Amino acid sequence: MLTRFDHEITERIVLADGAVGTMLYAKGIFINTCFDELNLTRPSLVQEVHDAYVSVGAEIIETNTFGANRFKLASFGLEDRVKKINQAGARIARKSAGQRVYVAASVGPLGKPLRPLGKITREQAFEAFREQAEALTDEVDLFMIETIPNIEEMKIAIEAVSSVSDLPIVGQLTFSDEGETLLGESPAQVVEDLASYDLAALGCNCSIGPQPMLEIIDKMRQHTDRRLSAMPNAGAPRLVESRFIYLTSPEYMAEYARRFIQSGVSLIGGCCGTTPKHIKAMADAIRALRPVHYQVAELPQAEKEEKALPVSPFVERSRFANALGKEFVISVEIDPPKGLDPGKSLEGARLLKVHGVHVINIADGPRASARMSPMALATLIERNVGIETLLHYCCRDRNLLGMQADLIGAHAIGLRNLLIITGDPPKLGDYPSATAVFDVDSIGLVQIVRNLNQGMDLAGNPLGAATSFAIGVGANPGAVDLDTEVRRFHEKVAAGAEFVLTQPVYEAELLGRFLDLTKDCDIPVLVGLLPLSSYKNAEFLHNEVPGMQIPQRIRDIMKKAPAGEKARARGIEIAREALIQCRTLSRVKGAYIMPPFGQYDAALKIMEGIV
């Protein structure tokens, strides 16, 4: 049985279907036909469209009732068939969805302006929306009030639906290329004027393509913390051989699905021009970015106490753990090589050790590309260089059993320091056809490692001995959805995290705000530092790397810096200034330096005088 939709959307990203009208048009239905009437005249054709979207991974399908209100149906002489058309549309969608997929009642605009611009009164508009909603409510899971041209019509629609149903409502307005509703209302005005209305999600659909819609979503996010939805057109239509064709590719829509997620959108789908191919591509993108939460089952207390072994003190688990808090710890990242030769990585580790670096960070498949196993490189560095490593371990590539096997093996060969991360989706890297596993996210994996430190496997079975990992996690002080980042950080600490490495920080105020919001989580913090090499590098990181936020002030500084060595020197200076400022924050116990392109001299310049 499906969870009530307004609860489901608080837990994960949900994917809706694409255009119904576009698909019916592609099947030969003339554009001047009443598509809603097809629920009565050609129900099997409508169901074929629903079935196609369900088959490619849509988690919501919308009823073919977008224009099934009395005003729009009147233009076809069908205003007396509102109830039958809507009931039939809901039944067809339910038949395709079963109890596996949500059915959303599609409620579109009235198609005629309200007073004073038009002749429709508020009472007439309310009654039209109420009549349609009443006919739909028995067979659906939620209402999708969409493509609404202005705030007032949206308010009337919400009030009308709420008068006959307590089902969740998603409200989506349509915007022009100028980023305003058809009455000139801004995204900020939309979210502020609708703040008091009970909506499962608020957002936009239709009219515009993914890029301008993302700008609108970003403006909405600045003024609200409620769930957002985005269902763009597949670009603008083109007239090709007497038919309207949308040329935006599925791959482009998938890329923007990722960007919508990074902007905090919880409900994603498509509107005019999108097809099952677009939705399949978007489903793959969302799957890669949406880890499944894994909850380690709690054992009865008596049984748990019997199986759990004493956890070794944190300071005894590694030299790094012992130093953390006693001195300012410096960690520098080294990427695993892309080929078979680890020579350059070992040489870099030796250089860093000589200059006082405490631990070498080894990324796990950075940017989701194929490289030498980080566990293998960590072993080579510790054995050949004599410096400890901090092994990044991500959830992307392995199932639960594989992770557990890896971690037990890592402990057996002497690795002790872990940074648990969810990981970059493979579609962001060199292998767009690779699939992610994501049996568990970083919170669940921290719980698993804590279990191992108590001598138990993920099912609570005794291992006979306990591991002694120092458990680290990541955090992004500059996250777009800071509330979610703070909540997840609290969950990581509750799961067993013992120290944290941040995403790159360029302004101490940003980190200070995050530390204030998490002041009840008193674990050591290593501030992340990534020196910028150029303005182009800053723009790329800010706009195209998930999780990265380069403040406008910093980008402006890099823009003014002359290209080449002077820009690189300015980037190092910015990182060093950030480090000096962040050192004054009480919970900052070290630095995590990420030298760009293996330029370890940049790390040495940043840490000069610190160790």
pLDDT digits (tens, 9 = 90+) for 101-119: 999 999 999 988 888 777 8
Say what the pLDDT of residue 365 is: 61
C-alpha–C-alpha distance, residues 364 and 342, integer Å: 15
Say what the pLDDT of residue 608 is: 87
Task: Give domain status of residue 272, yes or no.
Answer: yes
Q: How confident is the model at residue 175 (pLDDT cuts 50, 70, 90)?
A: very high
The CATH number that applies at residue 572 is 3.20.20.220
pLDDT digits (tens, 9 = 90+) for 320-343: 999 998 999 999 999 888 888 999
Q: How confident is the model at residue 430 (pLDDT cuts 50, 70, 90)?
A: very low
Structural domain of residue 19, as residue ranges?
Answer: 5-289
Query: Looking at the structure, do residues 538 and 405 belong to the same domain, yes or no?
Result: yes
The domain total for the chain is 2
Q: Does position 94 have pLDDT exceeding 50, yes or no? A: yes
Query: Looking at the structure, do residues 51 and 159 belong to the same domain, yes or no?
Result: yes
Query: Looking at the structure, do residues 365 and 463 belong to the same domain, yes or no?
Result: yes
Query: Looking at the structure, do residues 313 and 258 belong to the same domain, yes or no?
Result: no
Contacts of 244 (CB under 8 A, 6+ apart): 25, 31, 237, 238
Q: Does position 502 have pLDDT exceeding 70, yes or no? A: yes
Nearest by Cα to 508 from 580, 606, 589:
580
Percent of the chain with pLDDT over 70: 88
Across the chain, what does the average pLDDT equal? 87
Q: Does position 426 have pLDDT exceeding 80, yes or no? A: no
Q: Give the mean pLDDT of 206-220.
A: 88
C-alpha–C-alpha distance, residues 362 and 551, integer Å: 26
Q: Does position 307 have pLDDT exceeding 90, yes or no? A: no
Say what the pLDDT of residue 241 is: 46
Q: Does position 238 have pLDDT exceeding 70, yes or no? A: no
Nearest by Cα to 229 from 27, 391, 440, 16:
16
Answer for the pair 141, 103: CB distance below 8 angstroms, yes or no.
yes
Q: What is the 3-state secondary structure (H, E, C) of 11-29?
A: CCCEEECCCCHHHHHHCCC
* Radius of gyration of the CA atoms of the chain, in A: 27
Cα torsion 53, 54, 57, 59: sign: positive
Q: Give the mean pLDDT of 111-134.
A: 91
What are 569's two structure tokens?
Answer: 């020197």
Say what the pLDDT of residue 85 is: 97
Sheet with 169-173, strands from edge to edge, namely 14-15, 265-268, 228-231, 201-205, 169-173, 142-148, 102-107, 60-62
Answer for the pair 381, 337: CB distance below 8 angstroms, yes or no.
no
Say what the pLDDT of residue 544 is: 67
Q: What is the 3-state secondary structure (H, E, C) of 418-452?
A: EEEECCCCHHHCCCCCCCCCCCCCHHHHHHHHHHH
Last residue of a domain, one of 289, 319, 334: 289
Q: How confident is the model at residue 598 (pLDDT cuts 50, 70, 90)?
A: confident
Query: Looking at the structure, do residues 239 and 322 belong to the same domain, yes or no?
Result: no
Task: Give domain status of residue 209, yes or no.
Answer: yes
Q: Give the mean pLDDT of 22-38.
A: 86
Task: Give domain status of residue 237, yes or no.
Answer: yes
pLDDT digits (tens, 9 = 90+) for 520-561: 998 999 999 999 999 988 888 888 676 778 889 999 999 999
The CATH number that applies at residue 193 is 3.20.20.330
C-alpha–C-alpha distance, residues 106 and 140, integer Å: 10
Query: Looking at the structure, do residues 219 and 325 belong to the same domain, yes or no?
Result: no
Q: Give the mean pLDDT of 201-210.
A: 88
Nearest by Cα to 89 from 67, 65, 120:
65
Contacts of 371 (CB under 8 A, 6+ apart): 335, 336, 337, 338, 365
Task: Give domain status of residue 296, yes or no.
Answer: no
Task: Give domain status of residue 295, yes or no.
Answer: no
Task: Give domain status of residue 294, yes or no.
Answer: no
Query: Looking at the structure, do residues 189 and 309 belong to the same domain, yes or no?
Result: no
- Please confirm whether the linkage preceding 551 is cis (ω < 30° from 0): no
Task: Give domain status of residue 86, yes or no.
Answer: yes
Query: Looking at the structure, do residues 81 and 214 belong to the same domain, yes or no?
Result: yes
Say what the pLDDT of residue 151 is: 95
Q: Does position 292 have pLDDT exceeding 50, yes or no? A: no
Last residue of a domain, one of 289, 316, 348: 289
Say what the pLDDT of residue 477 is: 92
C-alpha–C-alpha distance, residues 8 and 302, integer Å: 34
Query: Looking at the structure, do residues 254 and 383 belong to the same domain, yes or no?
Result: no
Last residue of a domain, one of 289, 309, 324: 289
Entry pTM? 0.53
Say what the pLDDT of residue 425 is: 52
Task: Give domain status of residue 599, yes or no.
Answer: yes
Tell me the pairing of strands 243-246 and 237-240.
antiparallel
| DSSP H/E element including 262 | helix 250-262
Q: Give the mean pLDDT of 75-91.
A: 96
Query: Looking at the structure, do residues 280 and 308 belong to the same domain, yes or no?
Result: no
Query: Looking at the structure, do residues 257 and 306 belong to the same domain, yes or no?
Result: no
Q: What is the 3-state secondary structure (H, E, C) of 243-261?
A: EEEECCCHHHHHHHHHHHH
Query: Looking at the structure, do residues 464 and 508 belong to the same domain, yes or no?
Result: yes
* CA separation, residue 265 to residues 17, 227, 289 (Å): 16, 7, 12
- Token pair 């959830």 is at which residue? 395
